[in-house]
Amino acid sequence: DAGVTQSPTHLIKTRGQQVTLRCSPKSGHDTVSWYQQALGQGPQFIFQYYEEEERQRGNFPDRFSGHQFPNYSSELNVNALLLGDSALYLCASSRTPDRDEKLFFGSGTQLSVL
Amino acid sequence: DQQVKQNSPSLSVQEGRISILNCDYTNSMFDYFLWYKKYPAEGPTFLISISSIKDKNEDGRFTVFLNKSAKHLSLHIVPSQPGDSAVYFCAAENNFNKFYFGSGTKLNVKP
């Protein structure tokens, strides 16, 4: 049973560019959340997708957007990249509405903005 | 605004001894708390959780304690093993599946 898979594992971009990160949730999971983990910090909630809609959002600008597909996979898009967007981006999946179902994380995409 | 805080960035413990990792939170609406462990180049993995209606939850060598009046939780690992060396994050939830994480404590268990 494949867990949460993310691609790519590493990415280097320059300021002003746009990036798309991809995530496939754990089998049986229908909810995908995205987190940003800056160096030395804990993961910070970006947003969550359920039934192909953004259900919740953290304190991130509109440059951060996402999408969920009918097969529950998800994309995170970041426009007009800033140096401060350099971080590990984690995708986590879960199953709604089972609250006992813990978040399962992927290994992340390490984004470097130069 | 950091709603979940882990004030110890690192902890070093001898193998076989107890490891105690601490976490404080500010939002009294949090009703579910978890600990995650993270190895380098891997995503965080779930370790143990506790609901706000309990004050203790135990799973093998791992025990989480919750003190709601102090808004404090702790993770005890007994006995500590070298394989426990990792970064530990506490997390809190008050809205379905939206988690707030602390900044992590790096645990080093020395053989």
What is chain A's mean pLDDT, rounded? Answer: 93
Name the percent of chain B lying above pLDDT 90.
Answer: 87
In this prediction, residue B41 carries a pLDDT of: 84
Among A43, A44, A102, beta carbon nearest to B49: A102
In this prediction, residue A97 carries a pLDDT of: 66
- The alpha-carbon gap from B83 to the nearest alpha carbon of chain A, in Å, equals 19
**Inter-chain CB proximity A96 and B97 less than 8 Å:** yes
**Inter-chain CB proximity A45 and B98 less than 8 Å:** yes
- The alpha-carbon gap from B68 to the nearest alpha carbon of chain A, in Å, equals 20
Name the percent of chain A lying above pLDDT 90.
Answer: 85
Mean pLDDT of B53-61: 96
Q: What is the residue whose two structure tokens read 């359920």?
A: A50
Mean pLDDT of A97-110: 82
Return d(Cα B45, Cα B23) in angstroms, integer.
18
In 3D, which of A13, A43, A107, A110 has the Cα closest to residue B99?
A: A43
Return the ∠ at Cα B48 (arms to A101 and B59), rounded to 5°. 115
What is chain B's mean pLDDT, rounded? Answer: 94
- The alpha-carbon gap from B99 to the nearest alpha carbon of chain A, in Å, equals 7
Q: Could you tell me the pLDDT band of residue B2, with boundaries at 50, 70 and 90?
A: confident
**Beta strands per DSSP E along A64-107:** 64-68, 74-78, 87-94, 104-105
In 3D, which of B53, B54, B34, B36 has the Cα closest to residue B45?
A: B36
Instruction: State the CB neighbour count (10 A cutoff) for residue A28.
Output: 11
**Inter-chain CB proximity B101 and A43 less than 8 Å:** yes
**Inter-chain CB proximity B103 and A33 less than 8 Å:** no
* Residue A101 pLDDT > 90: no
User: Which residue of chain B has the CA closest to A9?
Assistant: B41
**Inter-chain CB proximity B41 and A58 less than 8 Å:** no
The alpha carbons of chain B give a radius of gyration, in whole angstroms, of 13
In this prediction, residue A18 carries a pLDDT of: 98
